[in-house]
Structure 1
Amino acid sequence: MQIGCHKKLLEYLGKKPQPRSPEEDSLLGWSATLQLFNRRRIILVANDETRYNFIFYGIKKGDLKNFDDLLLGGIRSCFEQECISPAIFDKYIAETAGGAAIKFTKSPSPKITARLRELLSSATQFQSFFSLKTLLQFHITPSLNSNTFLPDEYCEPIRRTFVRALKKRYGEDIFASRAVELEITLGTSNVFRRRIVVPIQYNFRELHYIIVTAFGWPNSGFLKHFLKYNYWLEKDSEGRPLSKLESEEPAPSDISYESRLCYLVTLDEVFSKYSAITYNYRLEDGWAFAIKLVGFQDNHDKPYPVCVEGSVFTLPVSFSEDPPGSFDIDHVNDQLEKMFYKG
């Protein structure tokens, strides 16, 4: 696989540029650039045809010995993020020049170099989510690729461009991902219950949006985005948390347990270990949802989460003021598709 590199990146990697294979399809090529941001190094990598991109943040010299593996892992994560079949990814890699062997070259053109600068500038708007706890900033890849702004030319969302290009090359049937099936119940009653299937690479911030949508707050966007929530993974014998995922960083003085930010943790990581956790939403009101693992699916054929069943009611925004509405599974799945699928 060819990775076209900006001069500064080649120097940082200690690589001499190799000759490019000019006949390679631009969909099979990727290019990368390096920049300092807040005294940390960012490497942005983008597909030459579609602009689909991902970033490494806080990379250090010691990370470079495995940089080839990091690059392949980053490209694989792009396919996983869009729920593309592993078989399609393997076929894609086999078609690139040199296959899985990375070949570092000069940037293919000044246009690509300028495009990388634009993408990097756009990426910095998500700086509040940059984390030194992971090199690959997988949690912001969807946001990076929802961008539609490009100077002097029309462009649809980058994610859509990427998926359509893969469909054109490999056919319509490109989706197959591992997913987790979860049953979610408010309190101890089955009156408010949903069963959902979610790709395992989703993080717990995304799961929050899925749950809120599945339980039906269609006109309450402020609830989705601004109320605090958390997940309890483990409790002690007295019911106090031992391990939590938080919607925002807690004050150091408040931490008496293991705490992680929910957008840095995937469903795969948690449900490979736990069969049941608790989701606490609207903390001031004490809404506690039991989340139970039903099982894993190996060939989820939708590039977004789906609700497969549920009780007859939606949750009211306020129990004291609003009666519960009726549950419409087709409407819920339409909302989930619009929220998470950009193809």
Structure 2
Amino acid sequence: MATVVFAPDSFKGSATATEVAAALAEGWMSVRADDRVVPMPMADGGEGTLDAFEAAVPGSGRRPVSVTGPEGVDREASWLLLPGGIAVVELAETSGIGLMPALAVFDAQTAGFGQAIAAALDAGATRLLLAIGGSASTDGGAGMLSALGARLLDATGSDIASGNRGLAELAVVDLTGLRPLPLGGARILSDVTNPLLGPDGAAAVFGPQKGASADDVPVLEAGLARFASALREAGVEVDPRTPGAGAAGGTGFGLLAWGAELAPGAAAAGEALGLPEALAEADVVVTGEGRYDSQSAAGKVPEYVALLAAAAGIPALLAAGSIAADPRGFAGAASLSELAGGSAAAIAEPLRWARAAGGALARRFAPPTP
């Protein structure tokens, strides 16, 4: 009998990490029914982070919160309270691109994310884990900081408009009312290493994904640069070139300005979820994501899990919707698209083919001889 940990990321747009972990485990058990399976759905700071933590941490609980959505409309969301007073707040839940009825690159904003953080602080959170993937905006986290008590003012002393559009009129940032970090601090969970500005920055790289035209990008960039300058004049010493400052339309920069610390999303989530300890007691781990490609080695969940497995001296297996790069570091791999006979079929029934992948990997697994 082997102990098998299932630690996939979500298959974005198709299935949550929790659903994928369960489907892989079910497929595995159909072949190796005597094995002990341990579902540990993972996340890297993007959509599904709350679900992963909720499924993996006993005693965690969702807390509802009313927020202003990225499009400026009130909506219901939630954050997660873990034992010990740790709060997990997910930007995709409150200010994510998936919440937008239509893309609005200049007007989408992050106030809802800040409101959820404030709610966690009001509830007595002693430490924050802030997952910032899946943003709809390019406001540099201005809306988030405003919701936490900062004031962003134009030359007349009036509050600026929300979103990147308002940054064009920004003259002064007043931080006197900004709420302090909790005693245990705040960690930013993100797998993005882009700076705030420049050709690899938030506007140039992520603006087009949020609806920006080629002519829009320089305008977005100018707004972010103005925001960084105003924060510097307010006494905030955060370098816009910091890797990760450009994450989530520059929300990484806004959080750094607040005093939060950047952490690789997958590693920070794995540490909080206790994955290293789980792998120390396991015989094999199965991980995965929707598409495994050349970018997967840049801090994504599968690469992180494979490194942990190597440190623990156990094999790592990969299940992915599609595999577009050599899965180095894995003892075996299964592609849902290949099993389904094409990507369209795999996307249409991801859990069916995840079960098939779990079974295929179980048939290939040879446990070590005692």
Shorter-chain TM-score: what band? under 0.3
In the superposition, the TM-score normalised over structure 2's length comes to: 0.23
